[in-house]
Amino acid sequence: MSENRSYHVSNEAGAGGIVQTVDAIGAFARDHGPGCYVVDEHFPNPLDDSVDSSRVWGKVIHHLDGKVVIYVGPSSVHA
């Protein structure tokens, strides 16, 4: 994974922040409580690296029982 990538994690309740690794996405959701979080990936634009590009990367569900599941495309990662 490129060190120039970052992830913006947010939910409808207003929690939001930038993390640098996939592992930190799960930790962010754990720290901010149960709910559904949207994750956007930010990376340098391949044509002009002075500009960031972004795309929807996945989502995170922090369940009431404390389990955090990260969904990326068709697969998921348990954090």
Nearest to 4 by CA among 39, 56, 46, 59: 46
- Give dist(CA 52, CA 68) in Å, integer: 28
Structure letter (DSSP) for residue 45: -
Question: Taking the model in full, what pTM does it have?
Answer: 0.78
To the nearest whole number, what is the mean pLDDT of the chain?
85
CB–CB of 43/2 below 8 Å?
yes
CB–CB of 26/79 below 8 Å?
yes
Q: What is the pLDDT of residue 77?
A: 57
Q: What is the pLDDT of residues 24-60, one digit of tens each?
A: 999 999 999 999 999 999 887 777 766 677 888 999 9
Q: Locate the domains of the chain by residue range.
A: 6-78
